[in-house]
Amino acid sequence: MSYSELIQAYFERSVALQWYWTIYVLVIGGVGGFSIFRQRPEMVTTLLVTLLYAGFAFKNLGAIEATAEEREAIRSAIKDYPASGSNAADITRVRDKLEPQLPQYSIAGAQYFHVVCDLLTIAFLWAKEWQRRKTAEQSPAPVAT
């Protein structure tokens, strides 16, 4: 694999990583919106949404971890690539400018952030369910005619 192919692969993995985070944020927004606009308390629905969200979050975190590990392996290969051959000067010039800008991805930081957001999302789902139940208990019963 050439130096330019490694750089291209690095940025492809970076884009994939961004897409996983974008999908994650969109799903959190969808789950939050669904929970906000529901009016009747339904424990089964809240439980089902919680389980589906937890499954999604688990798989999404796994995809983020795998993609981040791939990106870090490519980053390591870029740093170890020998500057030799007819394009050694080009590799050296690009390396001097590019490599300091390739940050190391904190997989542990991403895991902690993801899990905290997951717990907050699930807590929000259940807080809204509790609020709906409390509101339903306080509202007057319909008058039978």
**What are 111-133's pLDDT values in tens digits?**
999 999 999 999 999 999 999 99
Specify the pLDDT at position 92: 87
Domains and their CATH numbers in the chain: 3-134 (1.10.132)
CA atoms within 13 A on the CB side of 128: 21
How many whole angstroms separate alpha carbon 141 and alpha carbon 123?
A: 29
Model pTM score = 0.86
Structure tokens at 141: 């019963």
Q: How much is the average pLDDT of 90-117?
A: 92
How many whole angstroms separate alpha carbon 65 and alpha carbon 13?
A: 11
Specify the pLDDT at position 63: 98
Q: What is the number of helices (H) and of strands (E) in the chain? A: 4, 0
pLDDT at residue 140 tops 80: no
pLDDT at residue 142 tops 90: no
Specify the pLDDT at position 143: 65
How many whole angstroms separate alpha carbon 108 and alpha carbon 56?
A: 19
Predicted confidence band at 145 (pLDDT cuts at 50, 70, 90)?
A: low
- From 59, 80, 74, 82, select the one nearest 105 (Cα to Cα): 74
The letter for the amino acid at 88 is A
How many whole angstroms separate alpha carbon 144 and alpha carbon 93?
A: 83
How much is the mean pLDDT over the chain? 92
Q: How much is the average pLDDT of 49-67?
A: 98
